[in-house]
Structure 1
Amino acid sequence: MPERLLILNPGSTSTKAAVYDGTRPLFSRSIPHSNQDLAPFPTLNDQLDYRVALVRGLLAQERVDLSTLTAVVGRGGILPNIVAGGYQVNDALVDCLLHYPVFEHASNLGGVMALAFARPLGIPAYIYDAVTSDELLPEARITGFKGVTRTSFCHVLNARATAHKYAESRGLAYKDMNLVVAHLGGGISISAHSHGRIIDSVSDDAGPFSPDRSGSTNTLYVVDLCYSGKYTKAEMLKKLRGEGGMSALLGTHDCREIERRIQAGDERAALVYKAQALQIAKGVGTLLGCFTELIDAVILTGGLAYSKMLTNMVIGYLHNLARVVVIPGENEMEALALGGLRLLRGEEPVHTFAPACDLSVIP
């Protein structure tokens, strides 16, 4: 059976497109979008036809015969009430992506674009491992703050793709393993994977600080700042995401620059980098307590995992507790393609999106 997949990954400043023949990429390109390019479109949804046309032009340039495609896989959007894995794009899913997402994000166009290509060809369109995929255990949702319930919010796509890759390297299936995956990037999230399910997670605002996010801190300090009169809500949110972490502490979020400073004898940079490693290890340690069975490994992945200085410090904290492996990088296009292949081959179930509530009440 042919297995030729078109992969679509819309982002805020680009649309990435690739064609895979099985596991082999035939090409992968990123189409940039400047502020001027997007200025004519008042809303994100207004960009749909523009982005589809650009991808069609790219496919024509690459001489891709659309009739040879087997399926189209789009980046999963910010959807409510979904689990990890793949969903076939249907009208209900498109309606939710366009009109009732959890919040506006360019990835919401992924499934809609996929259907725009797939429907005329009579082939399936999928989304895979959306960020808001949530499979937390019921007991993991409870907080001590009445009225506040925990939800899962982590780098699902790369975390699960890396877990699959590690399982295959061991000659095992992902569903047969217990793993903790720490995605180390501009934001850091950590997830606990038990037999193919993410049973708990630490989001990028509830765990280690990162290059530009402040991570977890004493909530009393945050309450005091919120009511100090010094900052607006928007400014406080910037302190959490965008202007926190190493950006706030060292004036840069570039770890290569930080490592150069450390090598030049900057003791402050060395202390902050060691603190980040400690917080990553503590975040992993938190999730080690989620399992009733022995875990197989802790995986460090994402762009920051290329830093041997950082990963060696993390391993130094954790090596007596668990096997720690480093699988650096984040290849979203490959992750989407391999996920789509598992759906086509029947190795994973294809979920059907059906709203669990009246979506019109979602703000």
Structure 2
Amino acid sequence: MKKIFTINCGSTSTKVAYFEDDKMVNKVSLDVTAEQLKQMPKTLQQLELRANQVKTFLKDNQLDPKDFDIIVARAGTIPAVPYDGAFEVNELMLASVTYAPEAQHASTLSCLIANELVKGLDVPVIIYDPTCVDSADPIAKITGIPEITNMPIAHLLNTKMAGITYAESIGKKYKDLNLIIVQLGGGITLGFHDHGRIADWVYDDEGPMSPQRAGRIPTRYLANLCYNSKMTLQEMRMYLCGQAGLVAYFGTQDVRDIEKLIDEGDEKAELVLHAMAYGVAKSIGELSVIRKGKVDQIVLTGGIAYSKRITGWIKELVEFIAPVSVIPGEKEMEALAAGGLRVLKGEEEIHPYNVYPKGYHSIEEIINNPNFLA
């Protein structure tokens, strides 16, 4: 029996789960309050609090890290890697997410907490299916500004799991299908899964708005907002990627609250929520062309996929492209554990992590980063 521990840091909680082989024995969401977040606005300021929450959970449940066969963490905001699957958490990764993170996101803390738990122990720590796997078609990364290359980012962990689940439901393999998979969550991302490879994608800042994200904003308006605002660069990033979307309109990211307003006759709430679904459908249509319309299935997953109103709106617009399956919720913890189990069984190898952040060539350079923002 293999003992597997998984860690998944989100913006307001740290999810942890303990597995014995493929059976989830215990799972909990360790919340971080809004007041605590106000006192710790920078991501790394939350590390000690969150790590202590995890240690308390382990102690309360009589779990000892030395007994684990592997710890699997959600990948943080690391530079793009060439493969999906498992990557070792090593000195380079820890330095990169600590001193030169690609972006401000709590997921960065997952591998740092895992590393804290195994100090002095011979327990392997990996990340699995990071958001930034660079498997996209080269043509998808070209932009209108030569200095900017659009690198792929997507919710690979849960969307790949949804693709595998759908394929198994029809007696096929995930790598035998062309799928457009949509992650409907606090951020909304889409990917065209071409026989197991993300050939193109729509990230949460270039597609539909979502509960927390602004989504695609015309550059003429965005430039005006940035130059006319008194926000710093980091404040603007946090606004666009955490305080915009449904939150900006209604003060809540909970779709259920907005659906309640609709049920009470609020026309503005219906228009804005419908616009979000409309944006998802437009992005599905955008991705459908890259393989000349050869799409076996469109899969909607994530927490918002529980909303029949939203999935219904999306289906109405895109079913002419391909049939639509709804696999609501997220199975990120199960996906992490399944990846770890495959590694322990020898079915998958652990890739070495050797990608330096742009502009750096040594760990020493990263640690001495004068532009440290985390």
TM category (shorter chain) comes to: 0.7 to 0.9
Write the distance in 1 (CA, Å) between the matches of 2:25 and 2:262: 41
CA shift in 2, pair 1:35/1:290, >3 Å:
same
* Matched residue, 1:216: 216
Percent identity (aligned): 38
Secondary structure in 2 matching 1:313: helix
In 2 relative to 1, CA 258–140 (structure 1 residues): closer, same or farther, beyond 3 Å? same
Larger mean CA deviation between 181-190 and 233-242 belongs to 233-242
Letter in 2 for 1:98: T
The TM-score normalised by the length of structure 1 is: 0.87
What residue in structure 2 maps to residue 282 of structure 1? 282
Structure 1 residue 334 displacement after superposition:
1.9
Q: Closer, same or farther in 2 for the Cα pair 1:342/1:218, shift >3 Å?
A: same
The aligned counterpart of 2:361 is: 358
CA contact (8 A) 1:7 1:19 kept: yes
CA deviation string 1:64-90 (max 9, x = no partner): 355542211112111113243211222
The match for 1:322 is: 322
Instruction: Determine the structure 2 residue equivalent to 1:87.
Output: 87
Please state if 1:159 is matched with 2:162: no
Distance 1:14 1:309, change over 3 A: closer
Match of residue 75 from structure 2:
76
- Indicate if the aligned counterparts of 1:72 and 1:117 stay in contact, CA closer than 8 A: no
Indicate if the aligned counterparts of 1:136 and 1:198 stay in contact, CA closer than 8 A: yes
Tell me if 1:138 matches 2:138. yes
Contact 1:15 1:51 in 2 (8 A): yes
| Distance of 1:239 and 1:303 partners within structure 2 | 22
Q: How far apart are the structure 2 equivalents of 1:21 and 1:203?
A: 34
**Alignment partners' CA distance in 2, 1:103 and 1:317:** 33
**Does the aligned pair in 1 maintain the 2:295–2:321 contact within 8 Å?**
no
Partner of 2:253: 253
Instruction: Return the alpha-carbon distance in structure 1 between the equivalents of residues 254 and 46 of structure 2.
Output: 31
The whole-number CA distance in structure 1 between the counterparts of 2:291 and 2:65 is 46
Check conservation: 1:71, 1:118, Cα contact below 8 A. Answer: no
Greater shift after overlay, 327-336 or 70-79? 327-336
Partner of 2:101: 101
Deviations 1:202-227 (A, max 9, x none): 11111111223221132223234444
Name the amino acid aligned to 1:20: F
Larger RCO: 1 or 2 (CA < 8 Å, sep 6+): 2
CA distance in 2, matches of 1:242, 1:189: 15
Contact 2:207/2:283 (<8 A) preserved: yes
Please give the alpha-carbon distance, in whole angstroms, between the structure 2 residues aligned to 1:103 and 1:226: 18
1:264 corresponding residue in structure 2 = 264
Could you say if the C-alpha distance between residues 352 and 220 of structure 1 is closer, same or farther in structure 2, counting changes exceeding 3 Å?
same
* 1:248-285 Cα shifts (integer Å, max 9, x gaps): 44554332232223223333332223222221111111
**SS of 2:351 mapped into structure 1:** strand
Label 1:11 to 1:213 Cα distance change in 2 as closer, same or farther (>3 A). Answer: closer
Q: CA deviation at 1:298?
A: 0.9
1:169 maps to which residue? 169
Q: Which segment is superposed worse, 3-12 or 29-38?
A: 29-38
Do 2:299 and 2:324's aligned partners in 1 also have CA atoms closer than 8 Å?
Answer: yes
Conserved? CA contact 2:66–2:122, under 8 Å: no
Alignment of 1:330-341 (within 5 A): 330-341=330-341
After TM superposition, give the deviation of residue 47 of structure 1 in Å. Answer: 5.9
What residue ranges of structure 1 are gaps of 5+ in the alignment? Answer: none
Single out whichever of 57-66 and 312-321 deviates more from structure 2. Answer: 57-66
Counterparts of 1:48 and 1:245 in 2: how far apart (Å)? 27
Name the CA distance, whole Å, in 2 between partners of 1:40 and 1:189. 30
Q: What is the rounded CA distance, in whole Å, between the counterparts of 2:177 and 2:247 in structure 1?
A: 36
Amino acid in the other structure paired with 2:304 = L
**Structure 2 counterpart of 1:298:** 298
| More divergent stretch after superposition (325-334 vs 241-250) | 241-250
Pair 1:17-2:20 in alignment: no
CA RMSD of aligned residues (A): 3.0
2:7 paired residue number: 8
Residue by residue, what CA displacement relative to the aligned partner does 1:285-336 show, whole Å, maximum 9, x if unpaired?
Answer: 1111222582221111111111101101100111111011111112332221
Q: Deviations over 1:140-173 (max 9, x none)?
A: 1101222121011222222222222222222222
Deviates more, 1:47-56 or 1:103-112: 47-56
Aligned counterpart, 1:308: 308
Q: Please give the alpha-carbon distance, in whole angstroms, between the structure 2 residues aligned to 1:276 and 1:50.
A: 35
Where does residue 27 of structure 1 map in the other structure? 26
Greater CA drift, 344-353 or 178-187: 344-353
| CA shift in 2, pair 1:147/1:42, >3 Å | closer
Equivalence for 1:150 = 150
**SS of equivalent to 1:112:** helix
Aligned partners of 2:293 and 2:321 also within 8 Å: no
Number of aligned positions between the proteins: 361
Q: Which residue of 2 aligns with 1:55?
A: 54
Is the 1:154–1:190 Cα contact (8 Å) retained in structure 2?
yes
Is the contact made by 1:155 and 1:189 (CA closer than 8 Å) also made in structure 2? yes
